[in-house]
Copies of this chain bind each other. A is one copy, B any other.
């Protein structure tokens, strides 16, 4: 039995509905509020930014996670991040949750919040007040809704990001689906910008939280667009149990659920890396032969986060010295004279560095390979058995355009 990829997102799992609306928070002519709702109470697991300037919704959601009670919904707004907004920002956030809860006829503590957009602006209550009513009315299911809701939480993203899969246990189907947004200020530390995954699996909170931590470490925490960890990073998983399948440790269904969650997280993470601000291509860095998994993770991320490596991927220039440089300053101790670096391209490969020494290569062919949408480097340390993969994107003129003039 295997997990099966399906076309869907946050409403693929049983009992989940979603909605989006153009509330006029900041943007004009596009939807900017979204709601994910379960008719049944959900077990909650989540991870948040480690940034000291955590946004109002992050501070609020952390409290809800801490109290451990079941929840029903997550409401999002885009345009304004509600960070750097002090007490007034925390009050507006509470207003958003409370108004949505009133409409949904649930307790305010059962509605999580998520905000994204510019830091340092206050949210107005008026558009929220109108928005929550429409969100309630428009609740719906299906792939079209999934995509539309994923679009409503975008900021500088150029495409909506959704993923879903399912697996069978004793004739019953368990589904895991999710969405995320994120394109700039992406260098997640515990979680990504904004992402929610829903599932109809029945699972205990502590088991889910443990799995979420693990999945996030190998997915969202392995992508980087610009090394800037956001104030709003939030990843939420809601499990409402409607499949009737109980996920318990040390069972086959546990392994399947783990794989399904990992599939959704990695798929969303890769979509975010590929849609990095201004990006023209995705970069994948695979590190093998490290002494520890943590070493492998740090090394892979160091390469994907390097401005010089990112600029060379933009220029399709296989300047492998920059990869060595980024491995070398990652803060991990290893023997440089053992390291191989290989450029991967479909079924072919080209050795760029052998035993720590840069090779003479077919530059034309390397440049051709590096013009593809996805550029993959394999870094073999040959000093242990651990590996990790990180994803990033190139550094382009459009990144500078987007961020030199974001607020205007």
Contact = CB atoms under 8 A, between A and B. Distances in A.
Given A322-B119, A358-B119, A307 B226 contact: yes
A327 B53 contact: yes
Given A84-B357, A311-B399, A314-B404, 19 more contacts: A52-B334, A53-B324, A84-B324, A84-B358, A85-B358, A89-B357, A118-B319, A118-B321, A119-B321, A119-B324, A119-B325, A120-B357, A226-B307, A229-B329, A312-B404, A312-B406, A315-B403, A317-B404, A319-B407
Interface size class of A (residues with CB under 8 A): 35 or more
Contact of A53 (B81, B307, B356): B356
8 contacts: A120-B320, A185-B308, A227-B306, A228-B325, A231-B328, A319-B407, A395-B403, A397-B400
A18 to B, nearest CB: 29
A408 B50 CA distance: 41
Contacts of A320: 84, 120
A22 interface: no
A400 B401 CA distance: 11
The prevalent SS among residues of A at the interface is loop
A404 B325 contact: no
In the A-B complex, the 7 residue pairs with the smallest Cβ-Cβ separation, listed nearest first, are: A119-B321, A120-B358, A315-B404, A311-B403, A53-B328, A229-B329, A86-B357
- Can you tell how many copies of this chain the complex includes? 2
A121 interface: yes
Nearest to A354: B86
* Most chain B C-beta atoms within 10 Å of own C-beta, residue among A49, A81, A395: A395
Contacts of A51: 325, 328-329
Interface of A: 49-54, 81, 83-86, 88-89, 118-121, 184-185, 187, 189, 226-231, 305-308, 311-312, 314-315, 317, 319-322, 324-329, 332-334, 336-337, 353, 355-358, 395-397, 399-400, 402-408
A93 to B, nearest CB: 14
B327 A52 contact: yes
B356 A228 contact: no
A355 B189 CA distance: 25
A249 to B, nearest CB: 33
Contacts of A336: 52-54
Contacts of A311: 399-400, 402-404
Nearest to A317: B407
A350 B39 CA distance: 50
A357 B85 contact: yes
Contacts of A317: 404-408
Nearest to A81: B321
Given A307-B307, A406-B319, A86 B397 contact: no
Nearest to A120: B358
A356 B325 contact: no
Contacts of A337: 86
Given A324-B119, A400-B396, A356 B84 contact: yes
